[in-house]
Amino acid sequence: MEDNSEESTVSKSSSTVPTQEKSLEKKKEKARVSRTSLILWHAHQNDASAVKKLLEEDRSLVDASDYDKRTPLHVASLHGWIHVAKCLLDFGADVNAQDRWKNTPLADAEGARKHNMIELLKSYGGLSFGQNGSHFEPKPVAPPLSNKCDWEIDPPELDFSNSSLIGKGSFGEILKACWRGTPVAVKRILPSLSDDRLVIQDFRHEVNLLVKLRHPNIVQFLGAVTEKKPLMLITEYLRGGDLHQHLKEKGSLSPSTAISFALDIARGMAYLHNEPNVIVHRDLKPRNVLLVNSNADHLKVGDFGLSKLVKVQNSHDVYKMTGETGSYRYMAPEVFKHRKYDKKVDVFSFAMILYEMLEGDPPMSNHEPYEAAKYVSEGHRPAFRAKGYIHELRELTEECWAADMNRRPSFLEILKRLEKIKENLSPDHHWNIFNS
């Protein structure tokens, strides 16, 4: 009888080669995604030396792009970061790369009125194509909503005489003001950006979204100024401030308070995730959760500037959306990695908020936000330090921040489980935070 043992050994070892190759490819792809995130981040932060260092290590990153096909040069051009753009161009960046909307870096620079950047890009042969491009016939920008609506507010009705600044963003500011004698929160677009097509598009999107929302745990839309400048969005004013400030002052919450807060957030989110028109918040964090009053007995979810309304064909739809949307510390790993993701990104952020309410510290508080997101994307999670943890609550938190988004429960499921935990909670149950 012939001995085939040698042949069998050879075939076995050769069959492991494709597996090893696949594993190596996966590792390479993972490293590539991480470096893509880094170069886009450093370009956004105007850190030319960090961009240069990355390009010296890997020149191919010069035209790396996110899901919207936006390259580091697009990012630098939009912000007017000359040194970063010069560095990218010197490393051979494609000056006429086009993003998902067919915009070139020069079109972005023109849209943002970055005159020095416009000159630099033209000197490298930059052309202006895309929605913002001057090579296209400029069309007049339509007002956010053409029909006069019953929620359209006449600016003189708003009294800013005793207004105070509540918050500030890249597109505008949020002020406490008075409308027909009632305190309101007014998001006001900066006059300098009132003609910017993309800003108007985002504003229009947020108004269209808020008009449709009616829920006790969602900040209530009251009206908007869309026919005159500056454009303004008016919502109810909540006296209790935001959850971020509340946790900063109070530290860890009692189990019953944490569960009540979690129920309020989950109710608002279950409403947003209702099919077939799912609203993915994409920036769920303590700053965007508001307390109705100083007694902190009721919470509402707010700030829908980054939210996306998605018509769902079936419940397992996955959306191809912009990577790195939202706040790093509460960001789901699939977003950080620029992977396809769905509404379960909000469940992940909810888990991070739940952890913070129970522990008193932000998740990964010993890391900077970007580093925290990177650490989490590598599979790490915040450590539970509180003694006397309710097992079911810890279990729920861990499921909500599972790396596999399909393993995360829906908000309807979360509500059922929180209600059960609340029912079984002993009135004198408490825990203490300790530092090991």
Q: What is the CATH number of the domain that holds 49?
A: 1.25.40.20
Boundary (domain end) residue, out of 236, 270, 301: 236
**pLDDT confidence tier of residue 66, bands split at 50, 70 and 90:** confident
Indicate the residue type of 107.
Answer: A
Q: Is 143 helix (H, G, I), strand (E, B) or coil?
A: coil
Percent of the chain beyond pLDDT 90?
51
| 388 and 406 belong to one structural domain | yes
pLDDT at 396: 96
The dihedral over CA atoms of 161, 164, 169, 171, expressed in degrees to the nearest 10, equals 0
Task: Give yes or no: residues 278 and 414 share one domain.
Answer: yes
Residue 419 domain-assigned (yes or no): yes
Q: What is the pLDDT of residues 298-347, one digit of tens each?
A: 999 988 765 655 554 444 444 444 444 457 899 999 988 888 778 999 99
At 29, the pLDDT band (50, 70, 90 cuts) reads low
> Which whole number is the average pLDDT over 235-264?
93
Q: Which of 158-172, 192-206, 228-242, 406-420 has the lowest mean pLDDT?
A: 192-206
- 231 and 247, same domain (yes or no): no
Q: Which are the catalytic amino acids?
A: 283
* Cα gap 418→410, rounded to integer Å: 12
pLDDT score for 285: 93
Q: Are residues 195 and 212 in the same domain?
A: yes
Least-confidence region, from 28-32, 306-310, 383-387: 306-310
Are 258 and 369 members of one domain? yes
How many CB atoms within 10 Å of residue 396? Answer: 21
Query: What pLDDT digit, counting tens, does each position of 205-248 carry?
Result: 888 888 889 999 999 999 999 888 899 999 999 999 899 999 99
189: CATH: 3.30.200.20
Do 403 and 258 belong together in one domain? yes
For residue 2, tell me if it sits in a domain.
no
Q: Give residues with Cβ within 8 angstroms of 362, minimum separation 6.
A: 286, 329, 356
Residue 30, pLDDT score = 67
Q: What is the mean pLDDT of residues 393-400?
A: 95
| Residue 382, CA atoms < 13 Å, CB-side half-sphere | 32
How many domains does the chain contain in total?
3
Q: What is the CATH number of the domain that holds 418?
A: 1.10.510.10
Secondary structure letter of residue 154 according to DSSP: P
The predicted pLDDT at position 316 comes to 47
| Closest listed residue to residue 222, CA positions, set 251, 187, 171, 258 | 187
Q: Assess whether 226 and 258 both reside in one domain.
A: no
Are both 185 and 301 inside the same structural domain?
A: no
**Does the structure show a pLDDT above 70 at 349?**
yes
Which of 192, 209, 236 is the endpoint of a domain? 236
Better-predicted residue by pLDDT, 86 or 229: 86
- DSSP E strands: which ranges in 138-199? 158-168, 172-179, 182-189
DSSP string, 312-358: -SSTT--B---SS-S-GGG--HHHHTT--B-THHHHHHHHHHHHHHH
Compute CA distances 266 → 255, 399, 411, whole Å.
16, 15, 6
* DSSP for residue 113: T
The pTM for the full model equals 0.64
Q: Are residues 78 and 101 in the same domain?
A: yes
Give the separation between CA 70 and CA 56, rounded to whole angstroms.
21
Which of 209-213, 216-220, 421-425, 427-431 is predicted least confidently? Answer: 427-431
Q: Name the average pLDDT for the chain.
A: 83
Question: What is residue 136's predicted lDDT score, i.e. its pLDDT?
Answer: 40
Would 255 be classed as within a structural domain? yes
* In a domain? residue 135: no
Same domain, 107 and 195: no
Question: What's the CA gap between 423 and 429, in Å, rounded?
Answer: 13
Tell me if 187 is assigned to a ligand binding site: yes
Residue 10 lies in a domain: no
For the segment 89-117, the average pLDDT, to the nearest whole number, is 90
Tokens (6 digits) for 352: 């991070």
Other CB atoms within 10 A of residue 130 CB:
22
Helix then strand count (H, E) for the chain reads: 14, 9
86: pLDDT strictly greater than 60: yes
- Shared domain for 305 and 376, answered yes or no, is yes
> Which of 270-274, 318-322, 409-413 has maximum average pLDDT?
409-413
Please say whether the beta carbons of 400 and 409 come within 8 A.
yes
**Pairwise CA distance, residues 75 & 419, whole Å:** 45
The last residue of one of the domains, among 236, 264, 284, is 236
Give Cα 165 distance to the centre of its chain: 23
Identify residue 423 by its one-letter amino acid code: E
218 and 251 together in one domain: no
Predicted local confidence at residue 148, as pLDDT: 57
The pLDDT confidence band at residue 7, using thresholds 50, 70 and 90, is very low
Is 399 part of any domain?
yes
| 225: containing domain | 155-236
Look at residue 46 and give its three-state secondary structure: coil
